[in-house]
Structure 1
């Protein structure tokens, strides 16, 4: 082991009065590397870096000081903090020399050194969009508006991209209308189009069963409405898109989306490295006002997303629009930046939303950043309108790489196996993202600063759901369960890992009723306790907030606290309100078993779909 320079510490009274120095604008900032620590003797510790596994021997004094240098700050700032926090440290010059020695031994990493470690050249590969998939379900008026806005894009950029309509409509009249609208779009702009409705899904089913006959149960459940269909949801069309585009990139739109993409006037270049940074929100009186806020993207947005989706992070950072600036690292804990790796590939790229929120609850509105919060509660009339989240701008002011997506991506990198999702219910997008992180550990999603319009067919009242005790849906429960499994397995084979995930979920499905009921109860207790803690912190941090905001926060905290303490059946949001504990356990068992089997079968289905290529879609 290497022996890192030590410096003497004389314990005495704590000095809390040392003023923090004002750093020079161009002064380098340093942060302590993450490491495993093990005692060797009374005053010596083994310090093994997580990145690279370098081994050092540190004294207790040095280790104690290094612990105060976790955030990117100048050496002067670190010295001041060590003097103020650690008892008996009253020799700033000697402390500084010790920290300089730690930097020379790379136990303190400079901001420029960290950014340099992420550098990676672009790979010589051509990324092309296989198709734009549109999910539709019994809303032809919405589809008509989306296709009109997409037609404007296709004419402007002369792209002639393939458009595939995935029609999950129940009403035959709506299917006929949707098919006609797609034909009208093709005649107007000349793009190749394909329609996939109930009959086409049936033909796809037959073809897949010829290629993978032992996966019939999963094929039927993933792609078809039938006896095992529990509720509506976008997951069926999601899974169809993954199969029809296997091995390629594709874009996805919902029928209530609207183009063009826009950027908020406050949007900035570069990326935000902070994984805890929430999106920003701006509020408008009318949906129409939200849809036209900001500046329209001048370039082709599909190409802009392709420049990111499928690329390695290191190469993305070399693009002028996505540079990681030293200033953005200031105050960041290096241990919280583990998701930033030069070789991490972006598998999904996302837009924000302009118009109506895509969530059924607006609980997130009570955890906004300061600027968004001030606009949210500006006056009582505006507040009462804003809590329904019907006319908002929601997105990122600076592009943000993350490990998890909570809503539908815009562009998918489906060249390597992406997992299927639950065809039933809401939350299929965040469940798919959690499964993707399990299958491709260390992969990223990229939130861009653009927003896409979202116009729902009618006004939805979200405040009732927001104020009630938080009751996640089944897909949210399974998403969080999958997230808790991530990180403990070693294989780099995505297919093997997805089969393993199926086995893990299948193991939970095979548990006895008491265990399943206890698992659900523990989950609901955790998410409600988390809501209580977060909102109590918000309440205490904003003593000058308007009384109407305070009153609603109290109500949310009280309702979640009451539900947390009350003994009741662990019912998830998709299930009947009168389901008792035993019924909840069996509902969970059935859904878990279906998802588990689908994840075990999916690698074979995706593989045969990739081998078929364009023949799979053209044969429908």
Structure 2
């Protein structure tokens, strides 16, 4: 057999280790050959290795990156038969290293950075999504004009108007002709012409085209997003709502020369009573952040990282090689994101009660500021350093649409989470690169976010479908984005045609998980801070009671945006109808996108 080595019983004194090179074992599948032997099929090479059960056990204890001497100590402490056998353990680890079953962190990083640069996709310009707010659009375009003067750059602006009122739409169109920028206005007339053209080209799919792109009741920011994705098929573009300001800033503590690899997207938050106060807590960022995001978007992650000569990566110590392999030579930066100063992008304030450490202390600092903070009216929301994530947290600021990007949900909120989840499902190796800089985001209409404290958390249908897609995506084998999108559609069909008991179980399970996760997190946080301010404790109790009671009552799992008061029969019928709509659109989208690319 390949590892013809017996651990034996001889004890040899081990010198003090000096080599701090990190190693971790590779992933694979073990298949038994006998009671003591097995074949290990190495996942990254497809090679078979014959070994003893004891060697496999040692491999299982070396999955995270650590120096060899730490692996030796861990194996010796964990396997009783190997106590005092440090020299033997070192020898077996040496065999594993020679056979490629142990990989060094340095080799992994070198392989990643050796990725060849990709041809840069054509940049179409800046897409601005606007709706009934000429004053916001004017403010954004003015800020972009100043930005371009400061950085000697030019961005073509493509305004996609979702306005419901004709007068406000006319004001938006007039505004686009008056600014000193190159602006192309895509209003209702252009949109209808575009939709009609597609329906003539795809007559059998006219219903799906209309669902994806036409006006509907409610929030329809996703449909104009879809119009932009089709109109700009084959190109990359930046993407902002009309309440943004092109005024980049960063916090005093921002680590602009560091990057977290495989980050979970944890963001920092600082509070203020007004815009002046939060700007006083940050600094102007003098570089061209748009150029940075545009340059990264569509590039292979390894090539981008190798080009950042001054960038320091986060330590790999303690990370599993299996997880890090999500960053590989196929990893492409499909989207970029940035933080915001001003108003938050979250609709509710549940996340504020789950802050920890100094951020939590700032949140509840005193009663006066707390009452303002629970509405999240004025804050800094940022990544502390660059972050490479597999799932963007908010609507991306740059999108690589050179290959098919998925569609956004055309109606209702969480259209951004749906898009990001589908991008993850279509491109399993993709990276969303979060920049540690913030752009202005100022909402003039006051949001009553604290009203959510009194009711149980109720996710909407868009979030349900997005999270369902994320749960099945790891089981998909294809690397072709269109094939993967069709596989998600098949999974949604499977769910929509399941029997009543199964569909009800999936809806109840999801609703219960969302609420129980919140309850569990708040319970743990409350136990950590027994001396928290009374006003914070009172709000947390209210959240716990509302969500705990909802879990106990086993109410009909009506998702948000669905009609209130539905019975179970109506709830299941609504779920089946909505799931079929999405699955049908997923089957049509790749052809629509490919056709638009050729125009």
Aligned counterpart, 2:105: 111
Residue 185 of structure 2 corresponds to residue 195 of structure 1: yes
2:288 corresponds to which of 300, 304, 311? 300
Aligned counterpart, 1:18: none
Offset at 1:281?
A: 1.6
Aligned counterpart, 1:27: 20
Residue 169 of structure 2 corresponds to residue 175 of structure 1: yes
Counterpart secondary structure, 1:53? coil
- Over 3 Å counting, the alpha-carbon distance change for 1:30 and 1:381 in structure 2 is farther
Offset at 1:483?
A: 1.0
Offset at 1:8?
A: 4.1
Distance 1:595 1:503 in 2: 11
Residue 221 of structure 2 corresponds to residue 234 of structure 1: yes
Runs of at least 5 residues in structure 2 that lack an aligned partner in the other structure: none
- Over 3 Å counting, the alpha-carbon distance change for 1:393 and 1:56 in structure 2 is same
Residue 66 of structure 2 corresponds to residue 67 of structure 1: no
- Over 3 Å counting, the alpha-carbon distance change for 1:198 and 1:503 in structure 2 is same
- Over 3 Å counting, the alpha-carbon distance change for 1:116 and 1:362 in structure 2 is same
1:80 corresponds to which of 73, 76, 82? 73
Aligned counterpart, 2:397: 410
Aligned counterpart, 1:36: 29
Distance 2:565 2:528 in 1: 38
Distance 2:17 2:412 in 1: 52
Aligned counterpart, 1:272: 260
**How does 1:432-443 map onto structure 2 within 5 Å?**
432-443=419-430
Aligned counterpart, 2:45: 52
Offset at 1:399?
A: 1.4
Aligned counterpart, 1:13: none
Offset at 1:571?
A: 0.9
Residue 207 of structure 2 corresponds to residue 214 of structure 1: no
- Over 3 Å counting, the alpha-carbon distance change for 1:331 and 1:489 in structure 2 is closer
| C-alpha RMSD of matched pairs (Å) | 2.6
Aligned counterpart, 1:250: 237
Between stretches 480-489 and 34-43, larger displacement belongs to: 34-43
Distance 2:118 2:421 in 1: 29
Distance 1:446 1:330 in 2: 22
- 8 Å contact kept, 1:257–1:455: yes
TM-score, length basis structure 2:
0.92
Offset at 1:267?
A: 2.0
User: Could you give the per-residue CA deviations for residues 496-525 of structure 1, whole angstroms, max 9, x where no partner exists?
Assistant: 332333333234334455543332112112
Offset at 1:4?
A: 7.0
2:297 corresponds to which of 298, 302, 309? 309
User: Could you give the per-residue CA deviations for residues 228-249 of structure 1, whole angstroms, max 9, x where no partner exists?
Assistant: x242131011101101110001
- Over 3 Å counting, the alpha-carbon distance change for 1:30 and 1:545 in structure 2 is farther
Offset at 1:150?
A: 1.1
Aligned counterpart, 1:617: none
Residue 138 of structure 2 corresponds to residue 144 of structure 1: yes
Distance 1:463 1:31 in 2: 46
Distance 2:454 2:17 in 1: 45
Counterpart secondary structure, 1:330? coil
Aligned counterpart, 1:606: 593
- Over 3 Å counting, the alpha-carbon distance change for 1:367 and 1:214 in structure 2 is same
Offset at 1:168?
A: 0.7
User: Could you give the per-residue CA deviations for residues 265-294 of structure 1, whole angstroms, max 9, x where no partner exists?
Assistant: 222223212433522222222234335643
Offset at 1:444?
A: 1.9
Distance 2:247 2:526 in 1: 38
- 8 Å contact kept, 2:61–2:74: yes
Distance 1:127 1:6 in 2: 56
- Over 3 Å counting, the alpha-carbon distance change for 1:536 and 1:223 in structure 2 is same
User: Could you give the per-residue CA deviations for residues 366-424 of structure 1, whole angstroms, max 9, x where no partner exists?
Assistant: 33353433333334443333232221211211211222123110111101111112110
TM-score, length basis structure 1:
0.89
**How does 1:500-511 map onto structure 2 within 5 Å?**
500-511=487-498
Distance 1:604 1:454 in 2: 35
Distance 1:544 1:22 in 2: 46
User: Could you give the per-residue CA deviations for residues 192-233 of structure 1, whole angstroms, max 9, x where no partner exists?
Assistant: 2111111221111122223222221122122211xxx24213
Distance 1:545 1:111 in 2: 42
User: Could you give the per-residue CA deviations for residues 269-320 of structure 1, whole angstroms, max 9, x where no partner exists?
Assistant: 2321243352222222223433564333333222201221111111012022
- 8 Å contact kept, 2:2–2:51: no
Aligned counterpart, 1:350: 337
Distance 1:331 1:492 in 2: 29
**How does 1:509-588 map onto structure 2 within 5 Å?**
509-542=496-529, 545-588=532-575
Offset at 1:543?
A: 5.0
- 8 Å contact kept, 2:127–2:157: yes
- 8 Å contact kept, 1:399–1:446: yes
Aligned counterpart, 1:224: 214
Distance 2:67 2:107 in 1: 14
2:273 corresponds to which of 260, 267, 285? 285
Distance 1:493 1:394 in 2: 35
Distance 1:4 1:317 in 2: 41
- Over 3 Å counting, the alpha-carbon distance change for 1:288 and 1:575 in structure 2 is farther
Between stretches 590-599 and 131-140, larger displacement belongs to: 590-599
Between stretches 329-338 and 504-513, larger displacement belongs to: 504-513
Distance 2:51 2:530 in 1: 45
Distance 1:550 1:565 in 2: 22
- 8 Å contact kept, 1:280–1:368: no
Distance 2:512 2:309 in 1: 43
- 8 Å contact kept, 2:120–2:298: no
- Over 3 Å counting, the alpha-carbon distance change for 1:109 and 1:4 in structure 2 is farther
Offset at 1:556?
A: 2.7
